[in-house]
């Protein structure tokens, strides 16, 4: 008896699977292919040599992607935001972000390695600030873009 039930269940599952595949195939046929409409190749090939020459080389693309990735973490974004307003020590940042010293120090080290922040020592206290004005410009423009969207 168990064998009959299993066989019926397998048949039902197979029919359901086949039906889903047919529906999916029909759905795909309704979509324009990538080569149709707005994605079609132009009738006359364009000279792309100027664009190709101006594009980033692989190394620069990787460096930029890594730099942008550094700002993909909300904690690091908050650290950069805080440092846009003032030079701050680790203790100040732990209070502002409500995090422990170890976590803040870890994120600051990452940002320092990416040359987004820099540090200076005054006695036993280490103060952090943005590495240069470019960091603030990129941050502000990105924030403006996000708020505009």
pLDDT of 33 > 60? The answer is no
Determine, yes or no, domain membership for 7.
yes
How far is the C-alpha of 74 from the C-alpha of 18, rounded, in Å?
A: 44
- Judging by DSSP bridges, how do beta strands 125-130 and 88-89 pair with one another? antiparallel
pLDDT of 103 > 80? The answer is yes
Report how far apart, in Å, the C-alpha atoms of 126 and of each of 83, 84, 92, 138 are: 13, 17, 11, 25
Weakest mean pLDDT among 28-42, 88-102, 107-121: 28-42
Predicted local confidence at residue 32, as pLDDT = 57
The whole domain housing 24 covers: 2-37
Determine, yes or no, domain membership for 47.
no
| pTM summary value | 0.68
Kindly state whether residues 32 and 72 are assigned to the same domain: no
Determine, yes or no, domain membership for 51.
no
Kindly state whether residues 144 and 109 are assigned to the same domain: yes
pLDDT tier at 36, thresholds 50, 70, 90: low
């Amino acid at each position: 008896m168990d064998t009959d039930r299993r066989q019926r269940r397998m048949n039902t599952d197979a029919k359901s699977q086949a039906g889903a595949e047919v529906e999916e195939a029909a759905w795909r046929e309704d979509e324009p292919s990538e080569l149709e409409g707005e994605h079609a190749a132009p009738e006359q090939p364009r000279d792309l040599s100027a664009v190709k020459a101006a594009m980033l080389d692989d190394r620069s693309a990787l460096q930029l992607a890594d730099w942008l990735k550094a700002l993909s973490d909300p904690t690091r974004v908050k650290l950069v935001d805080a440092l846009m307003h003032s030079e701050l020590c680790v203790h100040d940042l732990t209070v502002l972000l409500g995090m422990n010293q170890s976590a803040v120090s870890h994120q600051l080290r990452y940002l320092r390695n990416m040359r987004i922040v820099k540090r200076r020592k005054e006695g036993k206290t280490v103060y952090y600030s943005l590495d240069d004005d470019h960091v603030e410009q990129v941050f502000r423009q990105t924030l403006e873009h996000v708020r505009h969207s």
